[in-house]
Structure 1
Amino acid sequence: MKQLRFVWTTLPLLFALLAVPAITRGEEEAAAEPTKVTVEQLNADPNDIKLVQKYLQEQWKSATELAKTDAKAAVKQIETAGAALADLQPTEDAAKAMLTRLRSSVAMMEDRFSSQAWSLEEIKAEIAATPEDAVWVKRYGGKVYAEYAPKVRSDWKEIKEPLQAEVAYLEKIAADADSDEVKAAAEQSLTAVGRLTRSVEMQQRLAELVGKPAAPLLAKAWVNGAPLTDEELKGKVVLLDFFAIWCGPCIASFPHIREWNEHYADKGLVVIGVTGYYGYDWDEEKKRPMRSQEEVSPETEQAMLQKFAASHELKYPIAVDPEKNLSKYYAVSAIPQVVVIDREGLVQLVQVGSGDASAKAIEAKIKELLGEG
């Protein structure tokens, strides 16, 4: 079953790749006056992956500081580090595998600093001057992503047309490219920018839900409470929480939802969790859900959900919707997603994501619809 998307960042992966093991007690004296790792040291033993990690960690730290005053110089520094890693020829399989990952981390570093160093217009000028240089096309895609990604949720209306123009520009580069490298760079950039355009389209779909009638409350099964009907929800403010038991941000939002359920239930709020079947059973020893290697029956997964709800002190019913009837109607593509419906049965808020800002927006709408503020 295709799992829903939720947000991750690349930086934790980058830091994990660059992590250097803690210094042992026997090494403390040598570490008292640290020295910079040189390229000569790397070439002397390319299988010493800890040394390679330390070298790249030093380059990342130095370039990050340099970028505060000269981002272009920081890009050059990372390019030099990348060239040093490209020249290494380890013979051990473990070192080869780690070096491949570290080379990818260099590309992430370069993308980050490149997005700081040049404006879109400056990069366009470089592409026009050197149309055969795939690096500038790649940088353009990274810059577009860095500039527009933070605005997808808050300013999607404003960036919709500019993003379409960016797509058209990159499509033209791909069509006119004389080299496979430039074409590949343009297509890679189009893939990244395409994710943004799809996100904008999704934001538009979510915005268009506001004011529409709520979907019929169809569920395959109910756990953690008696089944609810549309008739029973008339005159109530309803909060639908779309979640999955494997979703960390969903679980992080539970304390807020518990609080709202406890505080506003007697004032007219009905909270309903909405989830699906994901092939999980309950691990009695670890007291948490575990993905099963065997097929899990609906009854077994419902029992798991009941225990999961109890473990998180959730005291509201959970609708199981494996056919995704509700998810499709409410355009759920990322979780957690909360839908708030007013007493007349009309959608009044669709909020994606966890965190304090999201929680404040949801609670404000609950209070408004209940006449609490």
Structure 2
Amino acid sequence: MKLFSSLAVAAVFLPAVALAADAPRVEAEGPQAGALAALEEQLRRNPDDLSVWNQYMASNFPPLLRLGNVNPDEAQKRVEAMRRFLNSLQPTQDETKKMLARARWTLGFREQRIRLVRMPRGELEARLEARPDDGPTISQYAQKVRMEVLLLVYSATDLAEESLKAAKGFLDGLRPRIAEGPAKKAWDGAVRDFAWLQHSIDAARQAARLARTPRVELEARLNAKPDEAANIAMYGQRLWIELGPLAAQDPACAEQTLASAKAFLEGLRPNVKEPSAKSALEGADQSLSRLQGLIDRAGQRAALIGKDAAPLDVEAWINGDPLTADDLKGKVVLLDFWAVWFGPSLAALPRLREWHDKYADKGLVIIGLTRYSNYVWDPRLRRPVRAFGQEKVAPLKEREMLAKFAERHQLRYRIAIQKGSSLADYYVVHRIPHVVLIDREGKIRLIRAGGDPKHVTDIQPLLEQLVADGE
């Protein structure tokens, strides 16, 4: 079961890393010093203004984290200035008192990370050589190793393992000089951390190997040794690697392959006797159940191709007059289900803007469909920020945020807020961005779900064809 969870972690984490690396930046990061000073002045005048607290939290802490990674000395100066400022505030309301406590805790957490970034690992090792019973330094050492190794696990696995191996060797050499007590507890904690890091490295290696292993080979292994828990876990994960992409392209074929895999596991089940193998089989069953949901949704979307588009069900139009069914008649329509807070949605904006600018006068109508998400517009940062705490953003205020967002990013196509979930349900929206392409006859021609960059190669040619057909 341990191996199965390792593979699951790797499978979830790897696509996220790739997406983060590939996604283009939409806007510059970090606020201007003048904007920060203005926020601080507002809080000095009224430390119970929750909306300003929201802006302060959103505008300070994410940039501080980034600054700590690239310029820890400057980040430390910023921490000290922020601490002096926070200590000068005396809110009187319970909600803003909680916000102050949260800010102080977050600041302390950021400062700890900054100190570790600034401190060479060798310095911590020198301290521990001199004082091996220093429990806090042992804990710091473990955190430092974790930070360094995690940066390399999926990008440079060999280097990550070399770094961890050196840290393990150092810690093992330290053990005979550590007496029982707090230092021993810190040492035990470091050992657990290093075991988790090794687990992550092993998962990265296993995921890479698994991607190269044919499923039939795993089936042959399991037929020969059905009580091999590791192979059962790998079988479930291998199906994700194989069928995840296939579900989007050919759900019928994915369904057929999944049915074959289920039959294989059912045939294997009577021969599985060991408790660990039975646990692994339960994990594989759960994995196949999730795959079934993925394939079912893909099949539902495939069944919509050629069907009539759903009537627009919109609560509010953001950046233009409402569009009616008559406005869309004879047009090529692209629906983009998106959110201001989601990176892949933001990464798609330049392409959508390009398509609008290129094809709008040839009959293309793009509509960005979103929901209320409790974000407000920060005029100093010139971007949306999430409302922290229990503040509920009024619909009108959130619509104003979206209008400013559209203006900021020069989105000249229409943005709208969905009314209820009828559109999302009809088009089987499970994750965003989710694109629906509709031809001039009002028929659905293509649906793509998720932020896979390959989707562009599917959408672009058909979009050009549909636009050209009406010229």
In structure 2, the partner of 1:40 is: none
Contact 2:157 2:201 in 1 (8 A): no
Contact 1:114 1:139 in 2 (8 A): no
Q: Distance in 2 between matches of 1:349 and 1:58?
A: 38
Q: How does 1:101-140 map to 2 (within 5 A)?
A: 101-115=196-210, 118-140=213-235
Alpha-carbon offset, residue 158 of structure 1:
2.4
Alpha-carbon offset, residue 132 of structure 1:
2.9
Of residues 11, 14, 17 in structure 2, which corresponds to 1:10?
Answer: 14
Of residues 427, 442, 452 in structure 2, which corresponds to 1:345?
Answer: 442
Q: Distance in 2 between matches of 1:214 and 1:305?
A: 25
Contact 2:227 2:271 in 1 (8 A): no
TM-score, normalised to structure 2's length? Answer: 0.60
> How many residue pairs were aligned?
334
In structure 2, the partner of 1:332 is: 429
Q: Distance in 2 between matches of 1:56 and 1:230?
A: 52
Alpha-carbon offset, residue 13 of structure 1:
6.3
Contact 1:238 1:269 in 2 (8 A): yes
Compare CA radii of gyration and give the structure with the larger one: 2
In the alignment, residue 406 of structure 2 is paired with which amino acid?
A: A
Q: How does 1:39-188 map to 2 (within 5 A)?
A: 48-49=141-142, 50=144, 91-92=185-186, 95=190, 98-99=193-194, 101-115=196-210, 118-171=213-266, 173=268, 177-188=272-283
Alpha-carbon offset, residue 276 of structure 1:
0.7
Deviations 1:87-144 (A, max 9, x none): 9897328736744642441452253144157543333333333333312211222222
Name the CA shift for 1:247/1:11 in 2 (closer, same or farther; >3 Å): closer
Name the CA shift for 1:195/1:224 in 2 (closer, same or farther; >3 Å): same
Contact 2:121 2:141 in 1 (8 A): no
Alpha-carbon offset, residue 180 of structure 1:
3.1
SS at match of 2:435: strand
Contact 1:275 1:322 in 2 (8 A): no
Name the CA shift for 1:353/1:120 in 2 (closer, same or farther; >3 Å): closer
In structure 2, the partner of 1:209 is: 304
SS at match of 1:217: coil
Name the CA shift for 1:125/1:262 in 2 (closer, same or farther; >3 Å): closer
Of residues 307, 310, 320 in structure 1, which corresponds to 2:404?
Answer: 307
SS at match of 1:286: coil
Alpha-carbon offset, residue 366 of structure 1:
2.5
Alpha-carbon offset, residue 304 of structure 1:
1.3
Alpha-carbon offset, residue 287 of structure 1:
2.0
SS at match of 1:235: coil
Q: How does 1:254-293 map to 2 (within 5 A)?
A: 254-292=349-387, 293=389
Q: Distance in 2 between matches of 1:262 and 1:59?
A: 42
In the alignment, residue 91 of structure 1 is paired with which amino acid?
A: K
Contact 1:167 1:194 in 2 (8 A): no
Q: Distance in 2 between matches of 1:269 and 1:55?
A: 48
CA-based RMSD: 4.1
Name the CA shift for 1:60/1:327 in 2 (closer, same or farther; >3 Å): closer
Deviations 1:156-186 (A, max 9, x none): 3323211112123335545664333212211
Deviates more, 1:54-63 or 1:119-128: 54-63
Q: Distance in 2 between matches of 1:299 and 1:225?
A: 15
Contact 1:171 1:186 in 2 (8 A): no
Q: Distance in 2 between matches of 1:304 and 1:56?
A: 36
Q: Distance in 2 between matches of 1:264 and 1:51?
A: 52
Alpha-carbon offset, residue 273 of structure 1:
0.8
Deviates more, 1:93-102 or 1:128-137: 93-102
Alpha-carbon offset, residue 258 of structure 1:
0.9
Where is the helix percentage greater, Structure 1 or Structure 2?
2
Name the CA shift for 1:330/1:53 in 2 (closer, same or farther; >3 Å): closer
Q: Distance in 2 between matches of 1:56 and 1:270?
A: 44
Q: Any unmatched runs of 5+ in structure 1?
A: 1-6, 28-44, 66-76
Of residues 348, 362, 367 in structure 1, which corresponds to 2:459?
Answer: 362
Q: Distance in 2 between matches of 1:172 and 1:206?
A: 32
Name the CA shift for 1:276/1:116 in 2 (closer, same or farther; >3 Å): closer
Taking every aligned residue pair, what percent have the same amino acid on both sides? 33
TM-score, normalised to structure 1's length? Answer: 0.74
Q: Distance in 2 between matches of 1:252 and 1:329?
A: 25
In structure 2, the partner of 1:222 is: 317
Matched, 1:193 2:197: no
Alpha-carbon offset, residue 274 of structure 1:
0.5
